[in-house]
Amino acid sequence: MANYPKHYCGVFGIYGHPNAAELTYYGLYALQHRGQESAGIVTCDGKKFRSHLGMGLVPQIFKGEVLHELVGHMAIGHTRYSTTGSSEVKNAQPMTVDCYRGQIGIAHNGNLTNAYELRDELEAQGSIFQTTVDSEIILHLLAQPDAAGDTNNLAKAMNRIQGAYSLVIMTEKELIGARDPHGFRPLCIGKLGDGYVLSSETTALDLIQAKFVREVEPGEIVVINEKGITSIQAFPDHTKRAFCIFEYVYFARPDSIIMDRSVYRARVEMGRQLARENPVDADIVVPVPDSGNCAALGFSLESGIPYEMAYVRNHYVGRSFLQPSQLIRDFSVRVKLNLVKELVDGKRVLIVDDSIVRGTTCKTRVNALKEAGAKEVHVRVSCPPHRYSCVYGIDFPDRNKLMAVNHSLEEIAKYLDADSLAYLSTKGMIAATGQPADAFCTACYDGNYPVPYDSSVNKHIMEQRRQREESLGETLLKEAQEPKLL
C-alpha cells in the first residue's frame, strides 16, 4: 500500500464536436493525476458506440491510429485508480451496455457505500455482472425496464445508490452529467464552440480551450443534447453539503478552480495558516515536490523564511507504492527526490508536505536531510492528522495502519527523527478554502461520516485493497526477475 493516498478517478465528456475522441484524449491527459491504472474512451456518432480501453497511462493506451477509429461527435472518457474492484482491464471504464433502452455508457468517480447490498439484490433478480466494480451497479439500474414507462430513470437510480459519485453518462442521443446530493466529488461544465464539455476539473477545460460555465450542483442532473442543456434536481429537499476537502489539500491540480476558489491559492493560504499556527526558527523552507510546493511557498511568505527547492524531482521514476518489497520501495523514494546538499548542509531545515499517512516516506525524507548535513529538520503538514479511513473513494489504508491513529504527536516526531512536528488545524484548513465549514466532508480527520456505512463493507474494501497490492507486487517482482532484451 502506498505511503500517500491514491487518486481515485477522473471523468470527461464532450457533446457536439467532430473531434470528440481527440479532445477527450487531451481531457484525460489533463486528468491523468486522478488515476494511472487504466483509461478508456467511448464515442458515438448518434447510432453506434465505439470504444477503446486499456491498462496504463493515457498516452500508452491511445497509440497510433486508435483515436482516428473512435469516430463520433460525442465521447466520454475515464482515467482510473481502483478503490473498489481489482486492477485489470475488465474493470476499466467507461463501461457500456446495449439494452432495451439502447446503448448506455458510464464513467464514474467515487465510491458507493451500499454497493454490496444493491449487487446482491440485482443478482437475486437475475442481473449478471461482468466486473467487480461498483460502477456497474449504476449501469444495471439505468438499464432496468421501468413499469411507469419513464424513459429516463437516472433520478430514480440516484435515489437508490448511496455514497460518492460524479457521473458522466452517454446514450445514443445525449451526454449526461450527475453528482451525488452531498457533492463529494467535483464535476464542472464547459462550453466549446456549439458543444458542451463535462470534466472532473477545470484544468481539462483549459487544455482544450473550453470556456468554464459552472459546476454541476450536488444532486443535479444535466442533460445535453441537440436542444441544448437541461437541468434536473434529483434531490430538491437535500441541503447538506460534503465536498471532499482533500481535493483542495492534495488531489486536484493546483491550476484547477473549485467552488470559485483557485486550488493554488487555497494551498498557499494553508501554508500561511500553518506558519501562523506553528511557527519555527529555521533557515530555509523546503517543499516536498510536487504536492507540498504551494503550502511551503505560503509558509515562506508568511514567516519570511527563505524558500528553497532543495529537492529535485526525477519525473521518470515509477510509482513507489507498486514496488514489491520495502527495500525497493525505500530506494524508489530516494531516487524520486534527490537533494541539493549544499542548500541544506549546516542549516535548520523546515520541510512542508501535504500529509503523513503511514510515515515511512516522510521518515526517509528526514533521514536524507540529516545525512546531507542538516543541523535540524522540522516537519510541518498542511492538513490535520489522518485518523480514519475513507469509504467515499480515497484509497487510504486500513485505519490501524494510519500513523496518527495509534501514536501521539511526540511519538510520530520521534519515529520520523524530526526535531519538531506540527499539523495544520481543521479550522485553519477550512478557512484557507474560503468556504463555510459545513460545505466539506472531513471524515478522514474526525470520523464524522456524512453518509452512514456498514463497517463490514469497509472491511471487505480493505481486504480487496490488500489483495490488489499483493497481486501488483507479485507481478512486478516477476517482471523484475525476467531477463529482458535491451
Whether the Cβ atoms of residue 163 and residue 110 lie closer than 8 Å to each other: yes
Spatial separation of the C-alpha atoms in residues 309 and 334, rounded to whole Å: 16
- What 122-131 contacts at long range (C-beta under 8 Å, 24+ apart), as own/partner pairs, is 130/90, 131/85, 131/90, 131/91, 131/95
CA dist 312 to 308, 322, 337, 380, Å? 11, 22, 6, 19
Q: Closest by alpha carbon to 360, among 401, 310, 300?
A: 401
C-alpha cell at 212: 468554464
| Cα–Cα–Cα angle for 183, 391, 116, rounded to 5 degrees | 105
Give the C-alpha separation, 9 to 37, whole Å.
Answer: 10
Q: Which residue in the list 9, 188, 441, 444 is annotated as catalytic?
A: 9
Q: Interhelix angle for 409-416 vs 360-371, to 10°?
A: 50
Cβ neighbours, 10 Å, residue 145: 9
Q: What is the CA radius of gyration of the chain?
A: 23
**Is 9 labeled as catalytic in the residue annotation?**
yes
**Positive or negative CA dihedral for 248, 253, 257, 263?**
positive
- Backbone phi and psi for residue 79, each to the nearest 5 degrees, phi listed first: -125, 135
Q: Determine the distance from the C-alpha atom of residue 21 to the mean position of all C-alpha atoms in its chain, rounded to a whole number.
A: 23
Cα 247 to Cα 436: distance, rounded to the nearest angstrom: 16
Rounded to 5°, the CA angle 366-372-377 comes to 35
Burial of 242: CB neighbours in 10 Å, binned 0-12, 13-18, 19+? buried
Q: Return d(Cα 26, Cα 378) in angstroms, integer.
A: 40
Please list the alpha-helical segments (H only) found in 95-176. Answer: 115-124, 135-143, 154-158
Q: What angle do CA 205, 238, 168 make, to 5 degrees?
A: 30
Nearest 5°: the CA angle 214, 217, 220 is: 120
Contact 383/270 with Cβ under 8 angstroms? yes
Among residues 237, 236, 232, 238, which one has the least CA distance to residue 220?
232
Dmax (CA) for the chain in angstroms is 75
Catalytic residues: 9
